[in-house]
Amino acid sequence: MNRSAITIAALAGCLGLTTLVQARPPEERREERRDVRTERKDEHRDQKDERRRKQDAPAVAPVEAPPAVPVAVAPAVQNNSVRYREHFLQAQQQARQRRKQVRSNAKTWNDSRTQRAESHRSDIAQTWGNTADRPDARAELALHADRMARLNRALDLAEEKSDTTLVNQTNDLINREIARDANVMAGIQAQAGTP
């Protein structure tokens, strides 16, 4: 540095103008400001997260549910459940036989999709009547339809592979799903108060 620059720096220091003495290139100042902003953002984000945790935390410790006690099913519901289970098992057997005949030709299978859907809807309406319009019944019917579609597809694949163990396991699962659905729907029907 030349002599005049040193003199100016000394004078500026004496006058309290430290920014002139500590002058740095603009790149360094930008980096410093960027670091400060990043730190502030991180602090702000941490504070926000802490507030969210406090809001999400329950004010009172959750009460544990009492142990499940087996509920006795009303005899009328149980009778209906058995009756529906038998009906649905027979319907499943008939549907499996029709499915075997029609599945051999993919075009016929795809073309009959709307007819099968309409037949299924009318069977539901005939079996459940107004009960099928309840939201809980609709949810149960949708769950049952999804599970049965998956199980029937698994059964198709097991039969194509001639895997008797898998066929038996899948048939057991189908029977359990039909029994579960019949029991749940009979309960919903009993709640609705429809025969």
Distance between CA atoms of 1 and 174, rounded to whole angstroms?
A: 91
For residue 93, name the pLDDT band (cuts at 50, 70, 90).
Answer: confident
Residue 93 shares a structural domain with residue 126? yes
Co-location of 184 and 102 in the same domain: yes
Binned at pLDDT 50, 70 and 90, residue 62 comes out as: very low
Q: What is the pLDDT of residues 22-34, one digit of tens each?
A: 566 677 777 877 8
Tell if the pTM clears 0.95, that is, is over it.
Answer: no
Its sign, for the CA torsion 159, 162, 163, 167, is positive
Decide if 87 contacts 127 (C-beta within 8 A).
yes
- My answer on whether 168 and 102 are in the same domain is yes
Q: Are residues 79 and 34 in the same domain?
A: no
Count of structural domains within the chain: 2
Q: Name the residue range of residue 23's domain.
A: 3-53
- The contacts of residue 73 (CB under 8 Å, 6+ apart) are 81, 183, 187
Distance (Å, rounded) from C-alpha 62 to C-alpha 118?
47
